[in-house]
Amino acid sequence: MTDLRKTIVCIRCPLGCEIVAEKREDIYKIQNNKCTKGWDYAFSELTNPVRYVTSTIAIDHNSAHRLPVRTSLPVPKDKMFAVMSAIKLVEVTTPVHEGQILIKNVAGTEADIIASGCSS
């Protein structure tokens, strides 16, 4: 892996520390974090950034009627496009209950797409 240097705004609490994270010759250096949660966040952002994906899915063949959905786990940022593509291919029929799994192991990420609302 090549050397990296990033300024990362920590989102683990409202303080929003601006953390400087670097990797040089397999040595990680993380500065300006006020606590260990910030260190963990910056390390993850530098090595394997992940995000929850939220979107909507069409219901009952009606493109104007959409069900809010999200991933059950954060997924790698480089898989977000594949996750969104998989979501676009799916349509559900009512009733759907909150927390219902709509796509298992979406795009091979081990996360499921689950309903974050309900529709009857």
Q: Is 33 in the site for ligand SF4 (CB under 6 A)?
A: yes
**Residue closer to ligand SF4 (CB basis): 20 or 82:** 20
Q: Does 35 bind ligand SF4 (CB under 6 A)?
A: yes
Nearer CB in complex with ligand SF4: 4/35: 35
29 binds ligand SF4 (CB under 6 A): no
**15 lines the binding site for ligand SF4 (CB under 6 A):** yes
Contact (Cβ atoms closer than 8 angstroms) between residue 45 and residue 7? no
Q: Which two tokens stand for residue 56?
A: 């909507």
Does the protein bind ligand SF4 through residue 8 (CB under 6 A)?
Answer: no
In contact, 113 and 103? CB cutoff 8 Å: yes
Cα separation of 43 and 29, whole Å?
A: 9
Residue 113 has phi, psi (to 5 degrees) of: -95, 120
> In whole angstroms, how close is the CB of 20 to ligand SF4 at the nearest point?
12
Q: Which residue has the tokens 């809010």?
A: 68
Residue 73 identity (one-letter amino acid): L
Q: Which residues bind ligand SF4 (CB under 6 A)?
A: 10, 12-13, 15-17, 33-35, 37-38
